[in-house]
Amino acid sequence: MPNDTQSFYVTTPIYYVNDRPHIGHAYTTLLADTLARFHRLRGDDVFFLTGTDEHADKVATAAKERGKSFIEWADINANAFKGAFEELGYTNDDFVRTTEDRHKTKVSAFIKKLMDSGDVYLGDYVGWYDTSQEEYVTENVARENDYNSPVTGKPLEKRTEQNYFFKLSKYEDQLLAHIDSNPGFIRPDARKNEVLGRIKTGLNDIPISRAVGPDDDDWGIYIPGDDTHRVYVWIDALFNYLTTIDTPNRRKHWPASVHLIAKDILWFHAVIWPCLLMALGEDLPGCVYSHSYWIREGRKMSKSLGNFIDLPTIRAYNDAYGNDAMRYYLLTQGPMGATDADFAHAKFIETYNADLANGIGNAASRVANMIAKYFDDACPDPGEHCPKWQESAAKHAAEYTRHINDCEIHRALASATELIREVDRYINETAPFKLAKDETKRTELAQILYNCAEAIRIAAVLYLPALPATMTDLLSRFSCEINKGDTFDSLATWGGLKPGDSIVKGDALFMRADADAPAPEPAQTAAADS
Ligand code: ME8
């Protein structure tokens, strides 16, 4: 590893196990996977964590509805998430379940520490509880929404509880100062402004426990020294980011570099979690990146509409167009900024054809074909390297790196796509297929085809974290095997291709897709256990 090796710790939300994974879960985990792959390639010491959040009321309710015990249902769905992420090729280093002892014992220890320091105290709480979201909403929010959930529209419940409270109010100034002096802490800016607006209306202390009811099963994490209260599921869940790496070998990864989440859970991550960390004397994460929502063909995805893009649908797309094609669509067209993104089949095909089949796929095959034909499958000798191309490739690689460091993966990929467009324009302008007819133009032809091949090789390096299978294939066809010790920077530097290196044509990386073909349908399988 290079000397400037840095720790890179990326997390996803841990997902509720009341139901199966869908595209939203896959999407956030894919973003994390892409960042993790990039940082591994950069030579960083990467830790990528995902997992499941299991002690929620809605998990217990879903289990009861199916006549299963809480843990039976949690096991089924946690395995479904684990299996899905494996199938989709995500490279998480660990998968945490909040029902595991390694998590539970550490949550108790952290809560104990907060009780000892006086940051957690016992008091009374009366409020409006949103059971569908497992959270209390403020009186204002309840009133504005006619006492229905602002997210799902389901009726709110008035609850009075004796609770353990966390002194959130105590950390308001410290949090504001942190947000102010770390402009990249909450991203994108639109989300930061929302959070700031809400903090400025004042932070109240928050309940962090729930009374244990007479019929409750034995699940959750008890408040230390009080088995009549359990740790509120949200507090239990947030701690996963710390409990999983709170071991002698993994502690070096704290603080997390990036917590990837969607807008629904921003407040917990951008306000409550940092304040808990401040109370514990822990460093704060580098960034909370909150993306927006996938919707489907213009409509919100919901259980009642039954229109979730579920794993079988993702699998159908992967089977029809390849895993990388689906990754590319999600990564480039997904809801990275502050607006929702529509999953539309027509858009999938358009993006696939424009950037993959007619983009890097076509450029690579055109150039490999010409090298095969005019230079016997061997990389031609450019003589001197072309400063203009060197500069352009370096500029695109630098832009790519800057965007990916800001978690703007869609923008980073656009830099790679732009490099390929430049190759296309260059081929059209210089028309190497015409020069090939003139023996006196051999040197020029060699230079042009070298520049094309080398620019394509570098674009493939930039695409690699997003399109691992196809770009590994393309790079090996262009004599660029990735060996131990290679880093993103060395691989993306001009001059990697050497005269004489073999260039293999191979089959099309991305077959052109028929725009009129219907959307792939999931295979009919026996009803899942749900
Ligand atoms: O909130 N579009 O779990 P959850 C994009 N357990 N992303 C989506 C999405 C959509 N339509 N729907 C869901 C929880 N997601 C808690 C988190 S973390 C300490 C505890 C993704 O199963 C997105 O990442 O409801 C969102 O934040 C997450 O799934 C919510 O998953």
Q: What is the spatial order of strands in the sheet that 209-211 belongs to?
A: 209-211, 226-231, 222-223
- For residue 95, give the H/E element and its range: strand 94-97
Residues 198-252: pLDDT tens digits? 999 999 999 999 888 777 777 899 999 999 999 999 999 999 999 999 999 999 9
- Residue 526 pLDDT > 60: no
| pLDDT score recorded for residue 281 | 98
CATH class held by domain 323-491: mainly alpha
Residue 523 has pLDDT above 60, yes or no: yes
Return the CATH fold of 7-291: Rossmann fold (3.40.50)
What is the band of 1 on the pLDDT scale with cuts at 50, 70, 90?
Answer: very low
Please, are residues 73 and 209 in contact by the beta-carbon 8 Å criterion?
no
Q: Are 317 and 326 in contact (CB under 8 A)?
A: yes
pLDDT of residue 135: 84
φ and ψ at residue 152, rounded to 5 degrees: -105, -10
What is the residue extent of each domain of the chain? 7-291, 323-491
- Report the pLDDT value the prediction gives residue 527, as an integer from 0 to 100: 47
What type of residue is 73?
A: W
In 3D space, the residue among 411, 424, 414, 409 whose CA is nearest the CA of residue 359 turns out to be 424
Q: What distance in angstroms lies between residue 14's CA and the mean position of ligand 1's atoms?
A: 8
Ligand 1 in reach of 293 Cβ (< 6 A): yes
Checking if the pLDDT of 372 tops 60, the result is yes
Ligand 1 atom at minimum distance from 237 CA: 19
The minimum-distance atom of ligand 1 relative to the CA of 262 is 27
What's the pLDDT at 297? 84
pLDDT digits (tens, 9 = 90+) for 477-514: 999 999 888 999 999 999 999 999 999 999 999 999 99
Mean pLDDT of 372-389: 97
- The 10s digit of each residue's pLDDT in 439-460 is 999 999 999 999 999 999 999 9
Q: Ligand 1 within 6 A of 14 CB?
A: yes
Ligand 1 centroid distance, CA of 13 (Å):
6
Q: Rounded to whole angstroms, what are the CA distances from 35 to 55, 94, 127, 257, 261?
A: 29, 16, 40, 11, 14
Q: What is the mean pLDDT of the chain?
A: 95
pLDDT at residue 161 in the model: 79
- Centre of ligand 1 to C-alpha 53, Å, is 11
Rg (CA), the chain: 26
C-alpha to C-alpha distances, 405 to 27, 187, 233, 286, nearest whole angstrom: 18, 12, 32, 11
Report the SS3 class of residue 7: strand
Query: How far is the centre of ligand 1, averaged over its atoms, from the C-alpha of 21 (Å)?
Result: 10
pLDDT in tens, 124-173: 888 899 988 888 898 889 999 999 999 899 999 998 878 999 999 999 99
- Check pLDDT > 70 for residue 529: no
> Does the Cβ of 262 fall within 6 Å of ligand 1?
yes
